[in-house]
Amino acid sequence: MKVVICGAGQVGTSIARHLAGENNDVTVIDQEPALIQKISDTLDVRAIQGFASHPGVLEQAGLRDAEMLIAVTYSDEVNMVACQVGHSLFNVPTKIARVRNQDYLQPIWADLFSREHMPIDVIISPEREVARAIGRRLQAPGALDVVPMADGMVRVVGVRCDETTPIIETPLRQLTSLFHDLAIVVVGILRNERAIVPKADDQMLPGDEVYFVCDSAHLTRALASFGHEEQEARSVVIAGGGNIGLTLAQEIEREHPGVNAKIIEYNRERARFIAQALNDTMVLNGDALDLDILEEANIAQTETFVAVSNDDEVNILSSLLAKRSGCQRTVTLINASTYASLITQLGIDTVVNPRAITVSSILQHVRRGRIRSVYSVREDFGEVIEAEALETSVLVGKPLKNAKLPDGVIVGAIVRGETVIMPRGDTVIEAKDRVVVFATYAAVKKVEKLFAVRLDFF
C-alpha cells in the first residue's frame, strides 16, 4: 500500500515506523529539515522537506497514485487543507486528519467535513481519544487499560501483577481448572521491558504487565482474580485544565454523573474559561505542585488523581505528591517514552501515552481486510485486532488447533451474534464471526491476509 504521511513528529514517525516495517510504500513530508534528516536516517521511508498542504509538494510525494493520506502535522489547518487538496486534485481514496482544536469538532459544525465541503474520511482528536481512555481507567481502577471491542461485548485489559496477585506462578493451561469463573485468554506479557507471547506452560510473575481478553460480563471477576476489587472512582482531581483536562471533565459530567470532579489549573484566564464551560466541576486556580492547593482539593480523601498538564515532569511530580498526600490511585499523562521504565519504580499506578492512543486510532483505519478495530499493546510489541471472518478465510470451518496460526498470533475471543466464546483448541470459527486476535507486529500482515476479502481486497 502506498501511503503519504504529512508530519514527522512523534505520531507521524510512529505510524511511518509501523507501516514501513510491514513493507508498505511510505513517504513522509515535513517542513523541518532536522526531522526529515532524522526520519531518513532511522526509517526505510522516503522523506521530503516542504509544506504538507502545498499541491506541488504533495505531488512530489507521489500522492497522485497513493491509496491513503495521513495528515498529522502540528497545524489543524494544514492537516485539513492537505486532505482537501488530496481529494480535489489527486482523488486520494482515504484521507485521515488529526484535528486538535475542539471548536472544529462541535456537533453544530458536523457537516464541515462532509464530502461536499471539506472531505476528510476520518477525524482523529487526540484530546477526545485520551479523555475516553482515562474515563475507561476510572471505571476499572485496578487496570492499566480497558479497551472495549466487538461493540463492547469483549474487553482487552492490561493489569500489573505483584506478590499478592492470586494467579501468579500458575501455568496458563491450569487457570481455567483452578479458577472456574476465570474466562480469560492471556495474549501478552511484558516482563522487564521484554515482550512475551505466552504459551500454555508460561506463568505470570510479580512485576509483569499482563494483557488479557475477556467477556465484558466477566470483567469484574477477571479483575478480582488478579487481586483488583476496587470500586469505580467516585472522586477525581484533574491536574491541568487544557484541552484534555476540559474534555475529560466534560465526559465525566456527561457519562459519570455520580463522580465528584475537581480541576486544578495554573493559568487564571484558562481557569475562568473552563469554569464557565463546566456545570458541576469545581475549578481551582493554582499549581498542582503546591501542597496547599492539593489540600484545598481534599486530595487525602480523593480516590483518583489524574495529571494531564502539558508538562511530563509536572504530571509525574504532582502524581507522586498526590500519592504521598493520601490519594489512592494516580493516572499520569506522559509523552516522553524515556520515562516509561521509571514509572513502576516511582509508584505511579497508570500511565497514559497520547501518542500511542492516537497511533492506535489511526492504525485501525490503515489495516487491510475486514478489520473493525485495533489496539496497540506498547509501541514495540503488537496489536489486538478485531476482524470479521468471511467464508473465504482459511480460519473458517476448522478447529483452532488445526488452523496453523502464524507465529506470534493468539485468538483471544470469538463473538457470534450476541454470544462471546472464549476459544479452546476444538473451537471452530464460523463465517461472519467477529474474532479478536493478538498479533506481534511481525505477524500483523499475516493476520490481515487471514481476514482479507478474496475478490474485492482493497
DSSP per position, 400-454: GGGS-PPTTEEEEEEEETTEEE---TT-BB-TT-EEEEEEEGGGHHHHHHHT--S
pLDDT at 37 over 90: yes
Could you tell me where the beta strands, DSSP code E, fall in 229-363? 235-239, 260-265, 282-285, 304-307, 329-333, 350-352
Crossing angle (nearest 10°) for helices 126-139 and 354-366: 110
User: From its phi and psi, is residue 157 left (phi > 0), alpha (psi between -120 and 50) or beta?
Assistant: beta
Euclidean distance between the first and the last CA atom of the chain, given in angstroms as a whole number: 9
pLDDT at 368: 66
Using one digit for the tens of pLDDT, what is the confidence trace for 112-148?
A: 887 778 888 999 998 888 988 888 888 888 888 888 9
Average of per-residue pLDDT across 312-333: 93
In which band, very low, low, confident or very high, does the pLDDT at 455 lie, cut at 50, 70 and 90? very low
Check if the beta carbon of residue 257 is closer than 8 Å to that of residue 116: no
pLDDT band per the 50, 70, 90 thresholds, residue 458: very low
State residue 403 phi and psi, 5-degree precision: -80, -15
pLDDT > 70? residue 74: yes
CA distance 344 to 398: 43
- Please state the rounded mean pLDDT for residues 373-387: 83
Cα–Cα distances in Å, from 421 out to 5, 203, 291? 38, 23, 50
The percentage of residues in the chain with a pLDDT greater than 90, rounded to a whole number, is 48
pLDDT at position 12 over 90:
yes
* Strand-strand pairing, 154-160 and 145-149: antiparallel
Answer whether residue 159 shows pLDDT above 80: yes
Q: What is the mean pLDDT of residues 259-264?
A: 93
Does the pLDDT value for residue 231 go beyond 80? no
Please state the rounded mean pLDDT for residues 165-193. Answer: 84
Query: Model confidence over 381-390: pLDDT tens digits?
Result: 888 999 888 8
Kindly report the average pLDDT of the chain as a whole number.
88
pLDDT of residue 230: 77
Closest-CA residue to 243 (of 210, 273, 219): 273
- What is residue 72's predicted lDDT score, i.e. its pLDDT? 95
Q: Angle, to 10 degrees, between the axis of helix 243-255 and the axis of helix 268-277?
A: 20
Tell me the whole-structure pTM to 2 decimals.
0.81
Comparison of pLDDT for 133 and 110, the residue scoring more: 133
The domains located in the chain, with CATH, are: 2-124 (3.40.50.720), 235-352 (3.40.50.720), 357-450 (3.30.70.1450)
CA nearest to 70, candidates 42, 118, 28, 117:
28
CA angle 397, 398, 399 (to 5 degrees): 135
Which position has the higher pLDDT, 264 or 103? 264
CA 425-372-380 angle, 5° bins = 75
Q: Give the pLDDT of residue 106.
A: 82
Read off the pLDDT of each residue in 1-9 and give the average, rounded to a whole number.
Answer: 94
User: In this predicted structure, what is the pLDDT of residue 303?
Assistant: 92
**Inter-residue contact 186 to 158 (CB < 8 Å):** no
**Confidence band of 411 (pLDDT split at 50, 70, 90):** very high
In this predicted structure, what is the pLDDT of residue 316? 94
Res 428 pLDDT > 50: yes
